[in-house]
């Protein structure tokens, strides 16, 4: 089927908007590719330093002409999603060696967990960690001795940061290697109910901890469809993973075989072979439009709205909120995965998963079919699924029908006709709302404002009964310049309780919400932020606020609103503690949320 005409128009608009920046980027990548890796041109001392720790690979590195792969890893053994990466470098090195090539761990990048830091001080470093990851990966690859890079990362800020680095080093190929989700524990719905009972005092901390431990119980990514698993989806839609690699559980023969195949494929697409595929050719405008379609079709995390903008800027491409909204308007919601449904990502994968979605979207003209990918030219390769064939992988056609229509549906019979991400504009500036998990009767909320400057104050007001009415909770001074734009997911159980008690409830914030949040209407990423004197800083308690997700509007219904002076806040407490003092330069130089809330791009 021909490409959807509106998708063509959106892509062309992005191309035109990006033309100067993209042209400069491609020129830089072409110059770097012409120069090639400098491994053979290092001084003798430089080569000795680079190969001294390579053990049995020293001779091949010093005297051979085969490719050398750089491994950039987010491994740590505190976080379940990244713990499986411990053994990946040895597997990659052994595979490369068997192919007559070499691989080295170029460097590590930090990987923090938003699940650990929710509602805590460390969350104020979370968003900035994305740019730190990009910087750390840049340092790892700065030795200029690698013909391709393998990026080992999964979670919220890690993959976007690594993509920013891959784009910056776009003159060499980039293959992203996932670890997969943990096996299914207790249902996410059951876990959410225990959290709400804890918020109301019906159960104690012992019961809460037991529930959480039963949900997050082993190695791998959390199984709900939050930012981490949205990242994995993006990597397939953009052609940076091998087909079907995202949701294979860690510690399985297929997982290890896919890692070996990723290594072989990285070797095959270097400039030393016949299928040279630098990352700059994969990361083009069409790939990002395909990623937008994937985000909408699956009901993915709102965090990706900012991350994709920053990732695209690193590749010389300018995305705008209108691109997200316009793609959402033509993309049906094809998946129901928690928090948008009861299924987890393992259930989603078993029901047909990404291979089914990509195949059906291609058939309906809702994806660019001709993109460059690490698997070759054409996204049709990603409608296949991997199967074990001895110790190797073969790819077979994926399912062409949903195996569970409560989890996955075709374009012709979706859960919703649109993707559920809406751009909001009005006298409060601009922001976004995700409505794929919000009941239709809650798409329009008009209620008086209660204004807070931190999450703790919201929780205190709830405990004292001060929020027992229709309310729009405004949490401001949560933007990137204020305190690093922490997620406000800790508010979800509280606001959900109010909503379940029959009140009209919404959240308005210049901060973020987690990819795990959903059923409470939340107008987020409001720009300009309060720290910049944005309109959100002029809201007062009692102001009537109208959030209309159907019309895409967000307004304060007060005649004197535009003439008010903006409020200020004492943010000195955000400046120190748990390393926050090290990030003052980030807070001073970060861009607005609508531009990706980035420092380095």
Q: How confident is the model at residue 100 (pLDDT cuts 50, 70, 90)?
A: very high
Confidence of residue 488 (pLDDT cuts 50, 70, 90): very high
pLDDT at 198 over 70: yes
Q: State mean pLDDT over 274-293.
A: 97
The distance of Cα 253 from the centroid of its chain, to the nearest Å, equals 27
Residue 84 pLDDT greater than 70, yes or no: yes
Note the pLDDT of residue 516: 56
At residue 215, the pLDDT reads 84
CATH code 3.40.50.280 for 421-595: no
Q: Strand runs (DSSP E) across 302-427, as ranges?
A: 372-373, 376-377, 384-389, 392-397, 421-426
The residue extents of the domains of the chain are 5-183+218-397, 421-595
Rounded CA-CA distance 22/11 in Å is: 14
What is the pLDDT at residue 284? 98
Question: Band of the pLDDT at 515, cuts 50, 70, 90?
Answer: low
pLDDT tens digits, one per residue of 534-570: 999 999 999 999 999 999 999 999 999 999 999 999 9
pLDDT, residue 193, reads: 87
Query: Among 511, 510, 500, which Cα is nearest to 538's?
Result: 510
Per-residue pLDDT at 153: 98
Flag the least confident range among 102-106, 275-279, 437-441, 580-584.
Answer: 437-441
Distance CA 226, CA 155 (A): 9
pLDDT tens-place string over residues 449-472: 999 999 999 999 999 999 999 999
Greater pLDDT, 276 or 65 = 276
Task: Calculate what percentage of the chain has a pLDDT beyond 70.
Answer: 99
pLDDT, greater one: 5 or 188: 5
Q: Residue 414 pLDDT > 90, yes or no?
A: yes
Q: 234-275: per-residue pLDDT in tens?
A: 999 999 999 999 999 999 999 999 999 999 999 999 999 889
Q: Tell whether the model's pLDDT for residue 147 goes beyond 80.
A: yes
d(CA 259, CA 462): 48
- The most confident of the ranges 133-137, 210-214, 436-440 is 133-137
User: Mean pLDDT over all residues of the chain?
Assistant: 95
Please determine, for residue 523, whether its predicted confidence score (pLDDT) is greater than 80. yes
Q: b or e along 404-437 (b: 16 or more beta carbons within 10 Å of the residue's beta carbon)?
A: eeebbbbbeebbbebbbbbbbbbebbbbbbbbbb
Listed in sequence order, the residues at least 6 apart from 63 whose beta carbon sits closer than 8 Å to its beta carbon are: none
Question: What is the pLDDT, as a whole number, of residue 509?
Answer: 97
From first CA to last CA, the distance across the chain in angstroms is 37
CA distance 451 to 443: 21
Quickly state the pLDDT bin for 431 (edges 50, 70, 90): very high
Cα-to-chain-centroid distance, residue 13: 23
pLDDT at 437 over 90: no
Residue 121 has pLDDT above 80, yes or no: yes
pLDDT for the residue 517: 61
Closest to 171 in 3D by CA, of 101, 271, 38: 271
pLDDT in tens, 301-329: 999 999 999 999 999 999 999 999 999 99
What pairing do the DSSP bridges indicate for beta strands 505-509 and 522-527?
Answer: parallel
Question: Omega before 547 cis (within 30°)?
Answer: no
pTM: 0.95
pLDDT tier, 376 (very low <50, low <70, confident <90, very high otherwise):
very high
Residue-wise pLDDT for 42-60, tens only, equals 888 988 899 999 999 999 9
- 222 has binding-site annotation: yes
Cβ 489 vs Cβ 517: under 8 Å:
yes
Share of the chain above pLDDT 90, in %: 86
């Amino acid at each position: 089927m021909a490409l959807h005409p509106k998708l063509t128009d959106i892509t062309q608009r992005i191309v035109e908007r990006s033309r100067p920046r993209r042209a400069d980027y491609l020129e830089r990548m072409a110059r770097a590719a012409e120069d090639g890796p400098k491994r053979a041109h290092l001084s003798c001392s430089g080569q000795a330093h680079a190969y001294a720790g390579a053990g049995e690979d020293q001779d091949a590195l010093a005297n051979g002409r085969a490719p050398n792969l750089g491994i950039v890893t987010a491994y740590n053994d505190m976080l379940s999603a990244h713990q499986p990466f411990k053994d990946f470098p040895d597997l990659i090195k052994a595979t490369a060696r068997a192919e007559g090539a070499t691989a080295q761990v170029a460097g590590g990048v930090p990987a923090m967990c938003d699940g650990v830091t929710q509602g805590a001080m460390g969350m104020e470093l979370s968003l900035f960690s994305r740019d730190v990851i990009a910087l750390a990966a840049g340092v790892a690859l700065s030795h200029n001795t690698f013909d391709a890079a393998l990026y080992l990362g999964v979670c919220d800020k890690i993959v976007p940061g690594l993509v920013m680095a891959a784009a910056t080093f776009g003159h060499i190929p980039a293959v992203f290697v996932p670890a997969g989700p943990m096996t299914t524990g207790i249902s996410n719905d059951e876990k959410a109910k225990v959290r709400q009972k804890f918020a109301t005092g019906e159960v104690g901390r012992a019961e809460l901890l037991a529930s959480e431990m039963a949900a997050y119980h082993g190695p791998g990514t959390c199984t709900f469809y939050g930012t981490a698993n949205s990242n994995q989806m993006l990597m397939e839609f953009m052609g940076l993973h091998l087909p079907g690699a995202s949701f294979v559980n860690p510690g399985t023969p297929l997982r290890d075989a896919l890692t070996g195949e990723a290594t072989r494929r990285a070797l095959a697409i270097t400039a030393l072979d016949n299928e040279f595929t630098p990352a700059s050719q994969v990361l083009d405008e069409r790939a990002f439009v395909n990623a937008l379609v994937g985000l909408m079709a699956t009901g993915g995390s709102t965090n990706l709205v900012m991350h994709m903008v920053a990732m695209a800027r690193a590749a010389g491409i300018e995305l705008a909120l209108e691109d997200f909204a316009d793609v959402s308007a033509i993309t049906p919601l094809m998946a129901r995965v928690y928090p948008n449904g009861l299924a987890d990502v393992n259930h989603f994968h078993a029901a047909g998963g990404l291979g089914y979605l990509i195949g059906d979207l291609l058939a309906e003209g809702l994806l660019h079919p001709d993109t460059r990918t690490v698997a070759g030219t054409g996204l049709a390769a990603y409608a296949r699924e991997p199967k074990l064939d001895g110790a190797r992988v073969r790819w077979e056609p994926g399912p062409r029908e949903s195996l569970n229509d409560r989890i996955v549906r075709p374009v012709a019979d979706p859960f919703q006709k649109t993707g559920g991400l809406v751009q909001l504009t009005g006298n409060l500036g601009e922001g976004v709302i995700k409505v794929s998990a919000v009941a239709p009767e809650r798409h329009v909320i008009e209620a008086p404002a209660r204004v807070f400057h931190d999450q703790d104050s919201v929780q205190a007001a709830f405990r004292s009964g001060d929020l027992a009415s229709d309310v729009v909770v405004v949490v401001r001074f949560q933007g990137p310049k204020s305190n690093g734009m922490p997620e406000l997911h800790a508010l979800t159980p509280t606001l959900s309780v109010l909503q379940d008690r029959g009140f009209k409830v919404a959240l308005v914030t210049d901060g973020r919400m987690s990819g795990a949040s959903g059923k409470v209407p939340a107008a987020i990423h409001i720009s300009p932020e309060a720290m910049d004197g944005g309109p959100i800083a002029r809201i007062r308690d009692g102001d009537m606020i109208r959030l209309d997700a159907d019309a895409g509007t967000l307004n304060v219904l007060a005649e004197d609103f535009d003439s008010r002076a903006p409020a200020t806040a004492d943010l000195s407490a955000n400046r120190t503690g748990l390393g926050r003092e090290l990030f003052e330069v980030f807070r001073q130089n970060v861009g607005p949320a609508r531009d990706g809330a980035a420092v380095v791009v």
